[in-house]
A and B are shown apart, each in its own frame.
Chain A
Amino acid sequence: MLLELAIRNIRAHGRRSLLTILLGAVSTGLLVFSTAWMDGSHAQMIRNAVEIYPGYLQITGASFRESPSYEHLIFDVERLSGLLAREPGVADSSPRFESFVLFARDEKAVGGMLTGLVPAREAAVSRLRDSLVAGRYLEKGDSNQLYLGKELARRLGVGVGDELAFVGSGADYSFAADRLRVVGIFQTGLFDFDAASAFMAKDYFDTIMAAENQATHIIVQPRDPGQAPELARRLATLLGPEYQAASWRETMAPLVKAMEIDSLFGYLTLAVIFIVIFFVIMIYTLLLVYARIREIGIMRALGTTPGQVLTLLLLESALLGLLSVLLGGLIGGAFAYYYSVHPMVFASMEEQFRQYGLAVSAIPAAFAPLVILRDMALMYLLLLLSTLYPIIKVNGLPPIEAIHHV
């Protein structure tokens, strides 16, 4: 009976009920979509930053990340590759040897990173091959062929087919130098990376840098990238204390934290909006219950207990709140779904993203039903809370005072 009464009351004050529902729905929709947008954009930025080059999981010598010197290299790449190949969580792995050298062409010399890699295996762990813009990617059997970042190529004034030289130090600290021929140029969109990186086939690299069976990193592509941290823990046990296995959450920790901060500020901003919505709903509930104060007084005078009145008013709020979050969840969820399928394009903001090392211009929202339900539940709680004070206040009035309330 109380439920019937509650529904009847909601319908009797149609306009105000509608306004309350709309306010609640807009708030819920805003929260659902904002969360989907923030989660989606952060996931995309991290995914891009991780997949372009660093990879989901890196294996290095035990102290290499803290002290990246040639003394902390991986000295038995083949054995480790064999172990990794037998690990069920590993889809692929690829060794890299990174060194910093001076590239020289005619009268120009530019410092940069020269890396030896295994072309086919590298293609499975990063987006280097897909970033080709001119010439070709590296192939098995390549010797002094070089795959060069577009910005670095521009700085050196070289194109596909041109030759350049490099000088650096080999893994044994010996002097290393050679002439290299550019076979391909890549552009990842990460300006600094494109301005300082060059790659060549590891077999030949190893001969000129004295780096046979050695690597600075082995990049691992997990079967399920979402399980990279767990896989890193397993690999750390499997490989022993001589090696370190770190997932992207560790190797890209500042970026992960930066995204968390961005979310934090996003939620703080939303909180300001929600505070005012909270007050508006409270005010409307107050107006609504005071408009019915005589009716409530009469009900009380006729023998309805304060508990029953409280239940009735709470039931009305609960129903209005439920309609609000359902409608808001649907609207916010629909937007989240749409933009997860059709990412928003921010071509004009590429410069800003690039400044932060993020090669993205199209950003999808994240459509996660569980997260949407969580936000709906949170907003439902907030809506109920905002109606509590007016309901308790009006229910505290003695019946006679309520009836004579002007």
Chain B
Amino acid sequence: MSSLVLKMAWASLARRPTRSLLVVLMIAVSLWGLLLMQGIYDGMTEQMISNAIRSDAGHLSIFARGYRLDPSLDLLVEPEQGPAQEVAGGLGNEGPGLAASLAADPRVASHVVRLRQNGLVATSHYSRHAEIIGVELEGEQLQGRLADYLTTGKYDFGPKGKGAIIGHKLAAKLQVRLGGKIVVSAQDRAGELAGTALRVSGIIRTNNMGLDENAVFIDLARARGLLGVESGVSQLALLLAKGYGEEDLAALQGELRAGWPDLAVSRWDELYPALMQSRVLMRGFSLVVSGLVFGVAGLGIFGVMLVSVLERLREFGIMLAIGAGLNTIRKTILLESLLMGLAGFLAGALAGGLSLLYFRRFGLDLSVFSEALAEFGMDAVTYAIIRFSYFSEALAAVILATLVSVYFSLRVLGRSRPMAVINKG
């Protein structure tokens, strides 16, 4: 019986090839566009998030409480400080230190420490506000592949640690090139003005706007000497190991907050709320566009199925007269629309999937707009993302649009009484 239904449905579609093909094409082309849009837009958003995580926030960042409101060298994190616990005579900080705990935690892939201070950077011609960031290059490379952001120069502070890696926008403003001399000055921990001369050893472009415009990365040991900070850091950023997700991140954040209550432990999305908003907004936007597209596509399927039912009322009447059940006819119509929907889905998913694979491998090169994209914190080449959910959700939407649109045609069929139609002759 089911094979008969399938044969009838197929024959009916084949009888009107142009319109069947148009419906399939409509679903395929719109799905192709939607998949491309989702994959590329998500790729852009995730790239921005990845840049922020790699270059600055990590998955979690730890600061001294109050530091973010008032970035000062008096508010530092001591990586050797143990968790708060009750000891004889009150609360104490015993046990393994924060850095050691993180190093031993399997959920943590890596962590880096940074000493940050606002100051001035000057060339012989010009001076500008800058953020001096003392870092350990090996750790930064391990955690965020900072060297990949290098546009020119070396990922190195030189044998004496007199090099500096600076943001490309800052370099452009200062008109300083590789090997050029800069003088950074800032207030040290004692409140005195401190300065040091450095040579630009590298220029980076992270597309994290704050860093590209203001960052002067210097050797952590040199930063300690310059700022008079023997121990302690402004920020400790950590990256979650592969295989751990949002829930593990929340659990780790909770544990760190409980263990070190005098520290502020923030997720990347708390440090960069705009990026999280972008992600949420992009999802909402995709949902609205998908809803519109599938809604309109459903209208197309509805029109075709309605006409298909109306023009075959006599045929259905005859089928009923020779003993076919109304359910068989209903199934045939349902199968016709599902076949069209699925054919459209398969064609669209294939075209969309292949296109996304291409853009995931080679990226969408928008270098001509690179300066403008940087305004949004985006890279010039966007690599598409492919998620299984794109296809599963699209399939569900196609089936839903098909079922809803065929439902009305079946109601029309029920009201039309096909037997009466053949009697009218």
Contact = CB atoms under 8 A, between A and B. Distances in A.
B26 A280 contact: yes
B289 A352 contact: no
Given A107-B191, A276-B30, A287 B126 contact: no
Given A100-B122, A254-B372, 14 more contacts: A68-B175, A102-B120, A109-B193, A111-B130, A169-B122, A258-B375, A261-B376, A271-B33, A275-B29, A279-B29, A287-B307, A352-B277, A355-B274, A355-B275
Contacts of B19: 283, 286-287, 290
Contact of B289 (A192, A272, A291, A355): A272
A16 B366 CA distance: 43
A351 B175 CA distance: 31
A121 interface: no
- The interface centre, meaning the residue of B130, B186, B300, B369 with most chain A CB atoms within 10 A of its CB, is B300
A332 interface: no
Interface in A308-347: none
Interface string A93-110: 000000111101011111
- The interface centre, meaning the residue of B272, B273, B297, B299 with most chain A CB atoms within 10 A of its CB, is B299
B375 A111 contact: no
Nearest 6 pairs of A and B residues by beta carbon = A69-B125, A257-B372, A109-B187, A279-B26, A272-B33, A355-B274
B193 A273 contact: no
A258 B185 contact: no
B195 to A, nearest CB: 10
Interface string A238-264: 000000000000000111111011000
Interface string B174-212: 010000000001110001010000000000000001000
A329 to B, nearest CB: 19
- The interface centre, meaning the residue of B119, B120, B273 with most chain A CB atoms within 10 A of its CB, is B120
Contact of B296 (A168, A271, A273, A282): A273
Interface in A189-224: 192, 196
A108 B175 contact: no
B293 A276 contact: yes
Interface string B268-312: 000011110110010001000100110011011001100100000
B418 to A, nearest CB: 17
30 contacts: A19-B299, A68-B126, A70-B125, A71-B125, A101-B120, A102-B185, A102-B186, A108-B187, A109-B119, A109-B193, A111-B128, A254-B372, A256-B372, A257-B375, A260-B369, A268-B37, A269-B285, A272-B30, A273-B292, A275-B30, A276-B297, A279-B26, A283-B23, A283-B26, A286-B18, A287-B303, A287-B304, A351-B277, A355-B209, A356-B376
Nearest to A168: B127
Chain B interface SS verdict (over half): helix
Chain A interface SS verdict (over half): helix
Contacts of B12: none
Interface of B: 18-19, 22-23, 25-26, 29-30, 33-34, 37, 41, 70-72, 118-120, 122-123, 125-130, 173, 175, 185-187, 191, 193, 209, 213, 272-275, 277-278, 281, 285, 289, 292-293, 296-297, 299-300, 303-304, 307, 366, 369, 371-377
A99 B120 CA distance: 11
Nearest to B126: A69
A84 interface: no
A23 B123 CA distance: 62
Given A254-B374, A287-B307, A280 B129 contact: no
A349 interface: yes
A283 B26 CA distance: 9
B58 to A, nearest CB: 19
- The interface centre, meaning the residue of A111, A255, A268, A284 with most chain B CB atoms within 10 A of its CB, is A111
